[in-house]
Every structure is written in structure tokens, then in C-alpha cells.
Amino acid sequence: MSAAGSGGRVHPARPGDPSRVGPYRIIGRLGSGGMGTVHAGLTADGLRVAVKVIHPAQAEDPEFRARFRREVQLSARVQGPCLVPLLAADPEADAPWLATAYAPGPTLNQYLADHGPLTGATLHAFATGTAQALAAVHEAGVVHRDVKPQNVILTPAGPRVLDFGIARAADGTSVTRTGVMTGTPGWISPEYYRTSTAGPEGDMFAWGALVAYAATGRLPFGTGAPDVVAFRVMSGDPDLDGVPEELREVVESALAKEPADRISAASAAQKCSGFLASQATQVLAGGDGPAPTRIGELVTAVWEMPAVDDPTWHAPSLPSRRRTVTTVLVAAAVIGALAGGALALPAAFPDGGDRGGARAATAGRTTASPARHAGGATGPVGTPGPAAATRTAADPRGVRVPTDPLAGVAHPAFTRAGDEAQPSDDEWRASTTAGAQEEKDTAQAIEDDVRSMLATKGLDHLTATVTFNRRAQTVMVTGGPVSQLPQDEQEVFRRAGEAASCTTLAHRLQAGPATWPYGRYSVFWKNSDVDTEADILGFGQATDGCYNEVAGQWRGDETGMATAQIPSTDKDEIRVADATDKAITAAWKTRVAEDDGVDPSAADDDISLGFDPAEKAAYVWIQDTYGALIGRAQRDNFQDVARRTTCGRLRDEYSRNQSWQYMRWSVAVYGGNMGTPEFIGSGDCLS
């Protein structure tokens, strides 16, 4: 995670926080996320550092440690101008950590919101410095994969590119497993949308969009639902009105649709430094000393950004209730992304019946499973209203998933309920294809369900093979063989495999508890046909319930959000997402105009909507750029607008379209430059 927390200042340490990490004295917190905490630290001589410490749950997972070790190795390789250096790390410590230099200043997003576009020599310095940073990244054999305004800090010494939490080595080795989308809509290259290819050329596409945004204050491919933005990126022309003529040619080259047609980072840095040199000559004319000649000197010479200080670095105080927007001090965790990674929070079935919690044996994961929605609903857009349609067995969406399919059964055939030991490689190798007709029907149902979920994200080229191990009483769902599959796609496959398996097995157990022996399921991935071992992605039991909730209420989570942020390829989802996004935006602008308790700047925040097929849920999120939604009342206001509008649209589609499954909703806020969504409401539109 590369955010400094709410307001970006140093917040007081909490009970249990360390007083020291390695050689650094900890004086407070800069931010936290699902995978760890970023602490404010000081060296013995007073140097400010950002120290990222991993949560104990992840530290206990050997697989996670291996990924974190790789993260440290990659960050050590990436050194250069306009980057934030790794200072120290200990991936083998009881609580793994790494420390980077601290970079004060606003993100590009925040600066543009407060001051407007960059101009003149400062703009040229920005373009030069960020291109030079990416050139260093690519020269080290690394691909950033998440170049965007939130990951560029405008420090007093120049721009700084940070956050390598989803970086990938050029040889295809991924740093993180999953949990956040590998990239952000609007800053993703056309080839990634088409083929999931993420190379240096993709970074340059995002760089071109970044420079255009810095020069104009407008997103070059506009705003809206992820699917709509994706369409513009793949087939539309960027909005470059206002980009200075000398920079426009370089930006247009970077934004070419075909990767081979794009300028490299090194060439872009060289061209932009030429423009910058002429600017520097004018700015420094009449100075006492000679004009700087190196790129780094040129950037520093013309860069105009006020110095920033935060007294809480020296004397942490209680959190202030006053909103701080103008300047944000960012903990420059070069490879942060603590909010993403492999952490999967509880997911759920959008089923209207009895409810219970699911458990998973894999570290840091829970089962995310779908259900057939029970019943339809109609009503005017914007009002929750009761379900108008009756839940019937004639509608397959009305079939409820049993929470405890073996309740009251004295001698079930499945005897391993509660056994959370993961299936071994030997058990996976010993599994066989379906034999009896019930096994064949089960395999077909799971494979069809997985295929339908993957198809909504354009991943129908991934196939699931279902096998059975009667001794282990486990159904094995295996994907592949595909080598070096992007981790976000592998994660969608895991969630789809777990979802389809849990629901299918729960029904089988309930229908034949005395004869059906399979109640466990495990999801694997093969990289090649000759593999004698497979990576285990997930594991669970259908006797535990196929979803999770809090106090009887379904809750959205980061894994569902990550899936929802992957653009859909389903025409109905694209149509509904676009219409609902526009309706929420319009309703929110109206609410802001009418409500004196909501900051007017909130009307300008970007609102997006996407779908998660595993949970059959619509996710709505808003980028709280100006900090207008910092209070509970303001967030309740937005949640109310988003819920009413979304449920109205979903119910209408559910009533008209027999194949429509989405009847759950979740609303989240991304505050400032935070990479972690804060969920402010979730539920079922049929409740």
C-alpha cells in the first residue's frame, strides 16, 4: 500500500504497534490495508522512512513469504531517478517488512484537483521525470503495470513514481498473487483488455494517458463504467485538446493502439528532456551558474512545487476532524499495494433463504460462491420496494442453496465434515473422471457453471476439468494447462471453481445424504500437460455453507470488488452497467445540490459500477478525490443514492431478463489516493 492514510498525515500508533522495526524507530501510522500496515519511521539521524509491515496471518503462509521475498528482490532491482528507493527489508522476520524513503507531496490527482493542470516547464519536467522513471524500471527487467495519477507523487524535488505492488518481472514472474485488478480502468492498455498482455509497452500507454491528464486535467478516455472506458481505450481516440504541441506527438505515439507502434520509455525521456532543456534555458536565463545538462538536474532546476512539512512526524497528535485535502503526505512504499494481494474477505451467495458462514482452509482465503437468485422483483427505479415476483421452483434462479445440507442426517455418506486438511498432490493425482451417472451430472454442472461465470469476463478460453477422489471425498476442479496466466485471471478461475463446486455439492448432499459421498472441493491450476503437481488455489466444504455474512447481512469484499473491476464482455452487463452508472451519477448530483450537508465538490467525484459473477453482485464505487465523503452522514447519503438506484435497475432487469442473476449490491469509497476500498453498505435487492 502506498497511501498515507486518511489525510496523509502521521496518525497515532495503535495498541500492539511496534516501537521499532529493524533499525527504525516507529512514531505512528501512515496507513493500513488488508495485507499490512505502513508505519512512519525515523532513522537514528532523523531520516523519514515508510515502513511496510505484513500482517501475521499472511506472514504465517509460506507461499505468501515467497511472494513477498520476490517483491523485495524486484524492488531492489528498480533504482533510478524519480523513483523511491528501497532502503532495507527483512522478508524472513517473524513479521516481514520493508522500508523505503518517504516522499512528501500531493498525488497528481490531488494536485490537479486543487491547482489545475501542470503548465510550462513544470509540465515538461513531469513528462521527462516520469518517463525516465519508467525507463529505469524497464531497464531493470520489470513492468510496473499500474501507472496512474494516484501512483505519482509531486514532491518538492520532482515527480516520484511509486507503488510496485502488482509489478511483474519481464520474464513473466508475478510479484503478487491477486486481490486487486492488475491495473486501473482508464490506465490499462488495449492489448491487456484483449489478451491480458502486460509489458513495457502497456506502461507507456498509461504514461501517455498520464501526461495528457497532467496537461489538461481531463482523463483522456473519459469516465464512466469500466466497460465503457474499456471500449473507448480499445477503439476510440483520446482527448488531447490542450496538450502542448511539442508534447502531443510523443503522447500520441505512447497512446498508439498497437504496442509495436509505441515509443519506448527511454526514447520518450530523451525527447521530453529536449523540450525541457529549452524551457530550462529560458527559466534559468540570467542565472549565475551554467545551465544543468543532466536530465535529473533539468527536472530539479525548473520544477516548482512548494516544500511540505508535517509536524506530526515529530510530535504525533490526536486525529483532526478537519478535512485535509490540499496536501497529502504519501508513504512511498515502492512495491506496496497492501490492500490487494491474496487476501480474500468473506463472500456470499445472493440467496434469499437460510444463511451461514463458509470456511476455507487456504491461508487468507474464504469461499466466494454464487447461488441461483430466488425470485424476481419490480418497482420504480430508485426505490427498494418489495419483491413483486414469487420465488418458485419453475425459475431456476429461485432454487436456494442449503446452508447445512446434512442437518438431521444420522449416518451420511460424507464423513469428513469439519476436516480442513487440504487435499494433497497424491490425492489430486489419484482423482479420476466421472464414473457413475450422478458423478457425470455433477461434473457437467460444475464445468458449465464455471464456464458461464468466466465468459462474463472474456475468460471462456479457460476450461475446468472436474475429477473425483472417493477416498478423499473430494471433487477436484483443475484449470489449465496455461503457463504464466495473469494472476487476476487465475483468481477469477479460483472463485468461479469454488462457487460452482460449493453450490452443486450442497444440493447433491441434501438430495442424497445417505448415498452421496462428496462434500469437499478443491481448485487446482496446471501450467503444462506434463505437470505431475498442480498449484492449489482454493479449498472448502459444502457442509459449511457456501457464503458468509455479518449479522444476517451479505457483505461485499475486496475480492468481489477486484473481480467487478475487470471489464465485462457480456452485452447485457455492459448495457446495465452503463445505464446504472449514469443513473447513479445523475441522482448523486441531484442529492448533492439539494442537501446542504454534503460538500458540493462531491458531485465531481467519479462513480463506477461493475459485476462480480461469482457472488452475482453489482459493486458501486466512488473515488472521493476531494475528501467530501469523510463523514458518516455524507457516506450514508451516497450509499442511499447508490443502493436505491442500483436495486431499482437490477430488479427491472431481473424481471425482464430470465438469464439475469445479479440482485446483490455493495457500495465502497476510495478516499483520496487510498488503494483500499472502504465498504459502506451491502445487501440483497430482494430482501
Query: Is the model's pLDDT at 57 over the cut of 80?
Result: no
Instruction: Pick the range with the lowest mean pLDDT from 28-42, 93-107, 143-157, 576-590.
Output: 28-42
% of the chain at pLDDT higher than 70? 77
Q: What is the mean pLDDT of residues 493-507?
A: 94
Please compute the mean of the pLDDT values over residues 468-487 and round it to a whole number.
Answer: 89
Measured from the Cβ of residue 13, the count of other Cβ atoms closer than 10 Å reads 17
> Which pLDDT value is given to residue 81?
82
d(CA 378, CA 398) in angstroms, rounded, equals 15
Every domain range in the chain assigned CATH 1.10.510.10:
55-87+102-308
466 three-state secondary structure: strand
Contacts of 125 (CB under 8 A, 6+ apart): 158, 159, 276, 279, 298, 299, 302, 303
Whether the per-residue pLDDT at 197 is higher than 50: the answer is yes
| pLDDT for 311 beyond 70 | no
321: Cβ contacts below 8 Å, ≥ 6 apart? none
3-state secondary structure of 229: helix
In whole angstroms, give the CA distance from residue 22 to residue 27: 14
Q: Mind giving me the DSSP string for 309-352?
A: --GGGTS--PPPSS---S--EE---TT--TTSTT---------S
- How crowded is residue 533: how many other Cβ atoms within 10 Å of its Cβ? 12
Name the class of domain 55-87+102-308.
mainly alpha
Is the pLDDT reported for residue 404 higher than 90? no
Whether the pLDDT of residue 70 is over 80: the answer is: no
Residue 68 or residue 201, greater confidence: 201
Of the pLDDT bands very low, low, confident and very high (cuts 50, 70, 90), residue 318 is very low
Name the pLDDT band for 452 (thresholds 50, 70, 90). very high
Residues 408, 412: Cα–Cα separation, whole Å: 10
* Residues that are catalytic: 146
Per-position DSSP letters for 13-78, written without gaps between them: P-TT--SEETTEEEEEEEEEETTEEEEEEE-TT--EEEEEEE-HHHHT-HHHHHHHHHHHHHHHH-
Q: Across all residues in the chain, what is the average pLDDT?
A: 78
DSSP calls for 252-298: HHHT-SSGGGSPPHHHHHHHHHHHHHHHHHHHTTT-SSPPP-SHHHH
pLDDT above 80 for 313:
no
Count of other CB atoms within 10 angstroms of residue 586: 13
Locus of grid cell 443514492: 641
For the residues 410-424, what does the mean pLDDT come to? 87
- Residue 559 backbone phi and psi in degrees, to 5: -70, -40
Contact 555, 680 (CB under 8 A): no
Spatial contact of 687 and 554, defined as CB atoms under 8 Å apart: no
> Residue 601's pLDDT is what?
77
Q: Give the pLDDT score at 594.
A: 84
Bond from prior residue into 481 cis (ω within 30 degrees of 0): yes
- Cα 496 to Cα 579: distance, rounded to the nearest angstrom: 26
Confidence of residue 298 (pLDDT cuts 50, 70, 90): low
What confidence score (pLDDT) does residue 172 get?
Answer: 42
For residue 296, the model assigns a pLDDT of 54
More confident call, 484 vs 340: 484
Q: How many CA atoms lie within 13 A of 276 on its CB side?
A: 29
Highest mean pLDDT, choosing among 231-245, 355-369, 591-605: 231-245
- Across the range 179-188, mean pLDDT stands at 60
Percentage of the chain beyond pLDDT 90 is 38
Q: What is the pLDDT of residues 559-583, one digit of tens each?
A: 899 999 998 999 999 999 999 999 9
State the DSSP code for 597.
T
The predicted pLDDT at position 113 comes to: 85
* Distance (Å) of CA 115 to CA 160, 338, 419, 455, 532: 18, 29, 59, 43, 58
Mean pLDDT along residues 495-512: 94
Phi, psi at 579, each rounded to 5°: -65, -40
Residue range 11-50, pLDDT digits in tens: 777 777 899 999 999 988 887 665 778 888 998 877 889 8
d(CA 31, CA 7): 10
pLDDT digits (tens, 9 = 90+) for 356-398: 333 232 323 333 333 322 222 223 233 333 333 334 445 777 7
| pLDDT at residue 314 in the model | 53
Name the residue with higher pLDDT: 384 or 534. 534
> Does pLDDT of 196 surpass 70?
yes
Burial call 29-39: b when 16+ CB within 10 Å, e when fewer: bbbbbbbbbbb
462 vs 167, residue with greater confidence: 462
pLDDT score at 284: 46
| Average confidence (pLDDT) over 100-122 | 88
Q: Is the pTM value of this prediction over 0.85? A: no
pLDDT at residue 164 in the model: 57
- Decide if pLDDT at 201 tops 70: yes
Place of cell 516522499: 103
Q: Which amino acid is at 454?
A: L
Distances (CA, A) of 248 to 34, 46, 241, 242, 326: 40, 43, 9, 9, 29
Q: How confident is the model at residue 330 (pLDDT cuts 50, 70, 90)?
A: very low
Q: How far apart are CA 582 and CA 646, in angstroms?
A: 11
Closest CA to 85 of 95, 75, 94: 75
284 vs 115, which has greater pLDDT? 115
